Amino acid sequence: MAKKTQRALFEDATTEQQPVAASAALPDRDRHRIAMWQFAVAGLVVLMIVVGGLTRLTDSGLSITEWNLVTGVLPPLSAEGWTTEFAKYQKIPEFSEMNYDMGMTEFKRIYWWEWAHRFLGRITGLAYLIPFGLFLARKVIPAGWTMRLLVPGVLILIQGVVGWWMVSSGLTERVDVAPYRLAVHLGIAFIIFALLVWNGLRLSRPGHETLVARRQRFQGLVAATGVIGALTFLQILAGALVAGHDAGRGYTDWPLMNGAILPPEATEMTPFWKNFFENPALVQFDHRVIGYLLFAGIIWLWFRSRRSGHARLKRWYDWVLVAATGQMLWGILTVLNGAPLLYAIVHQFGAVILVLLLVRARYEAAYPSEQKIARA
């Protein structure tokens, strides 16, 4: 009976012991390279998110009406090539209904944004898949990590397909991309980013240090941070719907919306559930309410971190609270100014910073750094 109790007591630590121990056998140089690779690709994903946001905010996403994975790498290289691309754009509803007076100069401006976004996507895919193949061929990936490192690569490939799925929604009957598909596209980008940062953090420490640190983990705080992370992800999806409907420019007062807590037009669609996804008034209202809940949740998380007695951990949760406060205040400022391009893209980048800090704080709670002060 005593043996059974002992196994149950250390069951959680034993679950991850095998891959961690295998990682310990890996030379520090190789493990460090893999970690740096994860961080580098995470940086590319951040650049993709920013350029993608600018592509959406400048209404450039439908300027390239075809998805040519290989031949689409090169932009038009002659006047004839530009004329051909412009002719394709002139056939879609966005041009005929909105941009019918657009000239070649304006078309080139929106074309370059979309081309840059797609080009970065290709670079990101190659920057992940080629090193992954090399690490795999050299057999330097720690045991238990092959599938973990494969998942972001698969998601990057899926993201390319989802990107075209999103663009294709605006080529026939709409004058912009479907907000639902935009939300899926942005959501996957943030999932990839969080996974890459988490993997990089896990691999940046020697395996034996990770195993020792895991035995000191603050499990309650890890779980609580996961809940707040899920709420943050929901807020990001809600923000994508706001961007997809241009809902941030329709109600420019705060804390009310056109003088009301909830504008009467926010519930006018039938069936009722469509209002949550397709009514700009309710879409912005939802984004505001989720933002309030998220900020309250982060304050609660900050107070909970105070009980840890771990100085470095508390410092990371300090930064989470700072980022959340800045993001909320900047969001209000963005609304009050009618969501101009600069305000909106800074607000989106603020979401990246918040996610980064939440992942880093959760890692510190899961694998606390060594400190000389006794844990309270």
Domains of the chain by residue range: 15-215, 217-376
DSSP 252-298: --SSSBTTBSS-GGGG-SSSGGGHHHH-HHHHHHHHHHHHHHHHHHH
Q: Above 60 in pLDDT, residue 10?
A: no
What digits encode the pLDDT tens for the residues 225-275?
999 999 999 999 999 999 988 888 889 999 999 999 999 999 999 899 999
Mean pLDDT calculated for residue range 207-217: 77
Pick from 29-33, 147-151, 299-303: least confident:
29-33
What digits encode the pLDDT tens for the residues 168-181?
998 888 888 999 99
Q: Above 50 in pLDDT, residue 1?
A: no
Question: What per-residue confidence (pLDDT) applies to 23?
Answer: 41
Mean pLDDT calculated for residue range 333-347: 94
Instruction: Phi first, then psi: give them for residue 217, nearest 5 degrees.
Output: -60, 150
Q: Above 80 in pLDDT, residue 112?
A: yes
Question: What per-residue confidence (pLDDT) applies to 227?
Answer: 97
Of 283, 235, 285, the closest CA to residue 260 belongs to: 285
Instruction: Report the distance separating Cα 217 and Cα 308, nearest Å.
Output: 10
Instruction: Phi first, then psi: give them for residue 251, nearest 5 degrees.
Output: -130, 105
Q: What tokens does 216 get? A: 């000191």
- What confidence tier does 26 reach under pLDDT thresholds 50, 70, 90? low
> 373 near 311, Cβ under 8 Å?
yes
What digits encode the pLDDT tens for the residues 224-239?
999 999 999 999 999 9
DSSP 169-204: TTSSS-SS--HHHHHHHHHHHHHHHHHHHHHHHHHT
Helix (H) or strand (E) holding 45, with range, is helix 28-57
What is the DSSP code (8-state) at residue 75? P
Q: Above 80 in pLDDT, residue 9?
A: no
What's the mean pLDDT when you consider all of the chain?
88
> 335 near 254, Cβ under 8 Å?
yes
Question: What per-residue confidence (pLDDT) applies to 180?
Answer: 92
Pick from 23-32, 334-343, 357-366: least confident:
23-32
Question: What per-residue confidence (pLDDT) applies to 372?
Answer: 63
Q: Above 70 in pLDDT, residue 21?
A: no
How many C-beta neighbours within 10 Å does residue 179 have?
22
What digits encode the pLDDT tens for the residues 132-161?
999 999 999 988 899 999 999 999 999 999
Question: What per-residue confidence (pLDDT) applies to 142?
Answer: 87
- What confidence tier does 7 reach under pLDDT thresholds 50, 70, 90? very low
Q: Above 90 in pLDDT, residue 375?
A: no
> 181 near 166, Cβ under 8 Å?
yes
> 82 near 108, Cβ under 8 Å?
yes
Question: What per-residue confidence (pLDDT) applies to 241?
Answer: 95
- CA 215 to chain centroid, in Å, comes to 30
